Structure formats: structure tokens, C-alpha cells
């Protein structure tokens, strides 16, 4: 439940009580005044009715015309609406209207009361006169020639209602002034009561935060006896626990610093598998807030069966458990080396489980990369070395005596040595690019892209001519971009060599460059190399830029590639803070794109 300040508990209540009392008093006073005025008017009308009742008895019903004239004259002089009603409800005479044109009045409430022998009255809107009227009807007695009827007199209450409304407005204005004054007085009194309590609250909060160097000394001179006693107790308590708070705060800060600064992920669970504590590293890993998950069930926060089984094992056996578990954070797969140990209290009873997790994912990945790299390098180097060794041994065993065999074996040995040299050169190139990328040493200058592409095409023309392959350049001759020209030349040459290698004879290879505009983002340079070659299967596209990866190892080896060309292209793009992509279908060629932000 949400709490409120004491000021806003006392002040609104006092204000509402005052306002309610004033409104009740105003309503009661207004009702009393209204009833008083109506009672006076009713008494006045009844007196008027009795004054003319005798004359009405004499004239009705023997002289209806004289009765009508009497009512008209009397009503005009007294400013009163006079109506004489027969016992059957017919109007015999009326001071303002023709009796013959008027409705039967037998159902009027005041007339019905008068028929019963008593004085009747009512207030309602008169359709005849078009205003609110006060009606009073009296029984004038028995007529000589018929049953008793009713004499009704009425006056307009519009003027009285206006006067009452004016009085009500004046009373309301006075009430508003009283309310404003009461609000100010109530606010002053409430703040006077609340102020020392706020000071004590601030002092208690400072104690809770461990701020014991500047405690608040509360003045008790202007307080009530009860509040002053509480303030003195607080001051006395503050002085007593100052040393204890400082000690506890120091220990807590040391423990908190140690707990939160650990790079290991730490999680403390109670025997009911509720989270006691979780450090920042673990909360970050699982996208949690340490404060929000405290006290919650572990199953509702971290859903990992292996972790839950480890905790159950520790709770059952009270022995530590250590193993690697796999955790999926979104689509990412993490390997966590996890140790779960029991926590005990001073009496040795099990109070929970402490879990320490180390992220071994990167180490596993690096180990796998190292293993794959060593295996690939060993394989790629072993092939030419084995070939060279075999042919040299053949020559030493006597093949040198046959000039033709010796020449053929030496040519093969030279080709294998060149291939070995190419592999080593590509490895060194890749190493240099990675080193420069890590040190941010790639120099980028504004360069004419057409000239760069033309240079790369000239470097590949001889090899393209062997297969009668045409190389087209599609690039604005004045296109400028910020690049490292030497690295881009090397990347495009690698892509062109691949395109030539895997294209049938008499085909076309297209190299192009364009600056693409992007709304809300930086422009980007896109360099493409498209061929009409054999294409690449879909399952190979994801791993195409890995070192030594080959789609068709037998075919690639026959073509003489080192398996590092596309990896070099990828790292050159990364050195420019860019990327490289490929689109390909078997039998329809391939398109490689180097994308560099400008």
C-alpha cells in the first residue's frame, strides 16, 4: 500500500472537515431561510383568503358575474391571483382568466385538501401565468345552493427565489473566504506538527545510510510533549549506535565491493530455491536486475535444467558439484564452468547453495579455432612438402640419370615449392592485416576508384586471357572514396582471380563500384565482382570466408588456390570497418560485394 506524508494526512482531513461543516451549515441555513420565507408567504396568503372568504360566500353562486368582478378587482388591488372552485372542481371565478375557458381544478393538490375541510398549499409552475406560484386554498364554507367549494389564492414566488439566490450567493462567497482562511490556518498548523517529524525522519534516514558524521540535532523546544520525547530518544539512539553503524557499514561496503567486482558470475540460492543474492556479472549475463529478482523463485528467472539439477544435488547431498553447463541466451550458446557449493550457518545447518560460474565460451571457441587452424595449416603445408620430398628422393634414387624424368620431377617440385611459398605469403599477409586492424593503423585516403579497379584488371588480364575471359569495369571514372588503395587492390585481385578460376572459358567477369546513399545513415561504397561461373551451393556460403575452407577440396586443390584468398578479402573489409557478402546459385555464377562505410 502506498504511504503518504503525515502533512498530507492531517491537512486534507482538517480541510475536508472544515469544508464539510461549512457546506452543511450553509445548506441548513439556506434551507431554514427558504422555509421561513415560504411559511411567511403561506400565512400571508391564508390570511388574505380568510379576508375575502365571507364576500365570496355571499356572491357565490347566486351572482356569478358579481363574483367574477369581485375576484378581478380584489386580485388587482391585492396583487394576488384569486380562484373560486366549486365542489365539483369547476372554476366559478378567476381574477386573471375567464372561468369558462379554464380546466377543472378538482385534481389540484391544494384544492383537494381544501375540499377535505383543511387549508391546503403547494408550489408549482403555472402554465396559465407562465411562472412559479405559491398556492393556498381554504374551504369558505357551505354555499346556499350547493356543496362546499374552495377559495384559492396564489402569488408569484419568482421575486422571492431571486432574493434567496442573491442571499445564497453572498453566503457562498463568505463561505469561500472562510474556507480559504481555514485552509491557510490548517496548513500552518499541519506543517508545525509535521516539521519536527520530518526532521526526525531525515535523521533516521541518515542513520540508515550510515551517515553518522553529521547527525541532525533536533530542537525539542517547540514540540508537543509526545513528539519531544520521541525526538530525544532518537538523538540518544543516534549517539549510541554511531560506532556500530560505522563498523557495519564498513564491513558491508567491503563485502559488497568484493561481491560486485568479481568477474565470475555468482548466485546465492536458499533451500526453497529462492534467489538470495546475484552479482552484477550474473545479472548482466541473464539480462536481469539484481534488485528485481531478489527473493524470487529461481525457476521463474533462470530456466536451465542442468543448473537446477546441480542445485538439487547440492541440497540433497550437501556436497559441492562442479561441471560445465550449456546456457542459451537468445540464439547465443554459452558454455559455463559451474561450481555449486553448500552454504551453512554457524550451527552447520544448510542455508542454501552458492553458485559460481565462469564463461568458458570464448576459450572453447579459441581452442576450436586453434585446433582447426593447426589442422588446416598442417594439411595444406604437408601436401606440397610431401610432394617435394617424394620427388627429391626419387631424383636421388637415380631418376637424375634420365634427363626427361629429372626435368619433369624438378618442374613438379618447383610448382609445389611455389605453392608452399604462396601459402606462407598469404598467412603473413593475413597476419599483417589482422595486426593493423587491431591497432587501428589502416590509413584511408580519398582515392579515384576507377583507377584502382583498372589497376586490378591489368594485373589479372594475362590470366584471364588464358581462358579467353573478358573483364568489364562498371564504375564512374570520377568516383572518389576513402579507402586504403593497396589493400583494396589486393582484395579485388583475389576476387577476380577466384572469378577467373571458377568460370568456364569465353565468359565475362564484371567488376564495379558505386556509392550508395542511405537515409539517416552514412553513405557506403559497394565494390562488386560478378562472374558467370559454376556458382556455390547454399550450404557453403556461411563458411566461405573461413581460412582454408573449400567447397570442393579436390577441385580447389587442382586449381592451385591456397584457401586463404577470401579470408584475406574479409579481413581487408573489416580493416575498413566494413563487410563482405556473397550471392550465388549453382550454375548461375557468383557476386561478391565489399561494403565500406564512408
Residues 467-503 have pLDDT tens digits of 999 999 999 999 999 998 888 998 999 899 889 988 9
527 touches 551 (CB < 8 A):
no
Cell 537468445, residue located:
330
What pLDDT is stored for residue 526 in this prediction? 95
155 touches 170 (CB < 8 A):
no
Tens of pLDDT, residues 364-388: 776 665 665 565 565 566 667 777 7
Nearest to 595 by CA among 501, 518, 536: 518
The Cα–Cα gap between 528 and 453 comes to: 11
End-to-end CA distance of the chain: 57
**Is 144's pLDDT higher than 60?**
no
What pLDDT is stored for residue 530 in this prediction? 94
Outline where DSSP puts E strands in 139-288.
150-156, 265-269, 275-278
Mean pLDDT value of segment 65-88? 86
Nearest to 574 by CA among 544, 552, 595: 595
pLDDT interval class at 62 (50, 70, 90) = low
The C-alpha cell that represents 571 in the structure block: 579481413
235 touches 199 (CB < 8 A):
no
Its pTM stands at 0.40
Nearest to 216 by CA among 204, 228, 225: 204
Structural domains of the chain ordered from first start: 1-203 (3.30.450.20), 210-255 (no CATH), 262-355 (3.30.450.20), 365-436 (1.10.287.130), 445-597 (3.30.565.10)
Give the whole-number percent of the chain exceeding pLDDT 70: 83
Buried b / exposed e over 491-502, threshold 16 CB at 10 Å, is bbbbbbbbbbbb
pLDDT interval class at 329 (50, 70, 90) = confident
**Is 575's pLDDT higher than 60?**
yes
pLDDT interval class at 147 (50, 70, 90) = very low
Nearest to 487 by CA among 527, 538, 520: 527
**Is 114's pLDDT higher than 50?**
yes
What pLDDT is stored for residue 448 in this prediction? 94
528 touches 511 (CB < 8 A):
yes
pLDDT interval class at 142 (50, 70, 90) = very low
> ∠576-436-429 over CA atoms, to 5°?
95
Beta bridge partners of 21: none
For residue 597, the surrounding DSSP H or E stretch is strand 590-597
**Is 350's pLDDT higher than 60?**
yes
Mean pLDDT value of segment 262-275? 87
Cell 414566488, residue located:
157
Least confident of 238-252, 441-455, 484-498, 568-582: 238-252
**Is 235's pLDDT higher than 60?**
yes
What pLDDT is stored for residue 146 in this prediction? 39
**Is 525's pLDDT higher than 90?**
yes
**Is 518's pLDDT higher than 60?**
yes
**Is 556's pLDDT higher than 50?**
no
What pLDDT is stored for residue 439 in this prediction? 47
The SS3 call for residue 278 is strand
Cell 599483417, residue located:
432
The C-alpha cell that represents 338 in the structure block: 559451474
Nearest to 114 by CA among 71, 69, 157, 83: 83
Nearest to 508 by CA among 479, 475, 474, 482: 474
According to DSSP, the β-strands at 590-597 and 579-584 are antiparallel
Tens of pLDDT, residues 2-37: 666 666 767 777 778 877 888 888 888 778 888 888
Does 13 or 309 have the greater pLDDT score?
309
The residues near 10 (Cβ < 8 Å, ≥ 6 apart) are 190, 193, 194
The SS3 call for residue 481 is strand
Beta bridge partners of 340: 321, 355
For residue 118, the surrounding DSSP H or E stretch is none
pLDDT interval class at 591 (50, 70, 90) = very high
Tens of pLDDT, residues 421-461: 766 776 676 667 766 655 456 788 999 999 999 999 998 99
Amino acid at each position: 500500500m502506498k504511504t503518504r506524508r503525515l502533512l498530507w494526512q492531517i491537512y486534507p482531513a482538517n480541510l475536508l472537515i472544515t469544508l464539510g461543516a461549512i457546506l452543511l451549515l450553509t445548506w441548513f441555513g439556506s434551507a431554514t431561510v427558504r422555509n421561513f420565507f415560504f411559511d411567511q408567504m403561506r400565512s400571508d396568503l391564508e390570511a388574505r383568503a380568510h379576508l375575502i372568504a365571507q364576500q365570496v360566500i355571499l356572491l357565490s353562486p347566486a351572482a356569478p358575474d358579481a363574483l367574477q368582478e369581485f375576484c378581478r378587482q380584489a386580485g388587482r388591488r391585492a396583487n394576488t391571483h384569486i380562484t373560486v372552485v366549486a365542489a365539483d372542481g369547476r372554476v366559478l371565478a378567476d381574477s386573471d382568466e375567464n372561468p369558462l375557458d379554464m380546466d377543472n381544478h378538482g385534481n389540484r393538490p391544494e384544492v383537494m385538501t381544501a375540499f377535505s375541510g383543511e387549508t391546503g398549499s403547494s408550489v408549482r409552475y403555472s402554465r396559465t401565468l407562465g411562472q412559479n406560484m405559491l398556492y393556498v386554498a381554504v374551504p369558505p364554507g357551505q354555499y346556499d345552493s350547493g356543496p362546499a367549494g374552495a377559495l384559492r389564492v396564489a402569488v408569484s414566488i419568482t421575486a422571492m427565489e431571486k432574493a434567496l439566490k442573491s442571499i445564497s450567493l453572498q453566503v457562498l462567497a463568505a463561505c469561500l473566504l472562510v474556507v480559504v482562511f481555514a485552509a491557510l490556518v490548517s496548513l500552518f498548523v499541519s506543517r508545525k506538527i509535521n516539521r519536527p517529524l520530518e526532521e526526525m525522519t531525515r535523521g533516521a534516514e541518515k542513520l540508515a545510510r550510515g551517515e553518522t558524521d553529521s547527525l541532525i540535532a533536533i530542537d525539542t523546544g517547540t514540540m508537543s510533549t509526545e513528539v519531544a520525547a520521541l525526538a530525544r530518544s532518537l538523538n540518544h539512539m543516534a549517539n549510541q549506535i554511531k560506532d556500530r553503524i560505522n563498523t557495519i557499514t564498513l564491513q558491508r561496503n567491503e563485502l559488497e565491493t568484493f561481491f560486485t567486482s568479481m568477474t565470475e558470475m555468482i548466485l546465492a540460492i536458499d533451500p526453497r530455491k529462492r534467489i538470495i543474492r546475484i552479482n552484477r556479472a550474473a545479472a548482466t549475463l541473464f539480462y536481469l536486475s539484481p534488485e528485481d529478482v531478489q527473493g524470487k523463485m529461481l525457476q521463474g528467472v533462470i530456466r536451465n535444467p542442468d543448473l537446477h539439477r546441480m542445485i538439487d544435488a547440492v541440497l540433497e547431498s550437501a556436497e559441492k558439484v562442479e561441471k560445465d553447463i550449456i546456457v542459451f541466451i537468445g540464439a547465443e550458446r554459452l558454455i559455463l564452468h559451474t561450481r555449486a557449493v553448500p552454504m551453512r550457518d554457524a550451527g552447520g545447518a544448510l542455508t542454501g547453495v552458492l553458485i559460481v560460474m565462469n564463461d568458458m565460451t570464448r576459450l572453447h571457441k579459441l581452442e576450436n579455432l586453434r585446433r582447426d587452424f593447426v589442422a588446416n595449416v598442417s594439411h595444406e603445408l604437408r601436401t606440397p612438402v610431401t610432394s617435394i620430398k617424394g620427388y627429391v628422393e626419387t631424383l636421388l634414387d637415380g631418376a637424375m640419370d634420365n634427363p626427361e624424368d629429372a626435368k619433369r620431377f624438378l618442374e613438379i617440385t618447383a610448382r609445389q615449392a611455389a605453392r608452399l611459398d604462396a601459402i606462407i605469403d598469404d598467412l603473413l599477409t593475413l597476419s599483417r592485416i589482422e595486426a593493423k586492424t587491431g591497432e587501428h593503423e589502416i590509413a584511408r585516403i580519398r582515392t579515384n576508384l576507377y583507377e584502382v579497379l583498372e589497376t586490378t584488371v591489368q594485373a589479372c588480364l594475362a590470366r584471364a586471357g588464358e581462358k579467353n575471359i573478358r573483364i568489364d569495369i562498371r564504375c564512374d571514372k570520377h568516383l572518389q572514396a576513402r579507402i586504403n588503395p593497396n589493400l583494396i587492390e589486393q582484395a579485388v585481385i583475389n576476387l577476380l582471380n577466384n572469378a577467373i578460376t571458377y568460370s568456364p572459358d569465353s565468359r565475362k567477369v564484371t567488376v564495379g563500384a558505386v556509392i550508395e546513399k542511405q537515409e539517416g545513415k552514412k553513405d557506403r561504397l559497394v565494390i562488386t565482382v560478378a562472374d558467370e561461373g559454376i556458382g556455390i551451393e547454399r550450404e557453403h556460403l556461411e563458411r566461405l570466408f573461413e581460412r582454408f575452407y573449400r567447397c570442393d577440396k579436390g577441385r580447389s586443390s587442382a586449381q592451385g588456390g591456397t584457401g586463404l584468398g577470401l579470408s584475406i578479402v574479409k579481413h581487408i573489409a573489416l580493416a575498413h570497418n566494413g563487410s563482405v557478402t556473397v550471392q550465388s546459385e549453382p550454375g548461375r555464377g557468383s557476386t561478391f560485394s565489399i561494403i565500406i562505410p564512408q
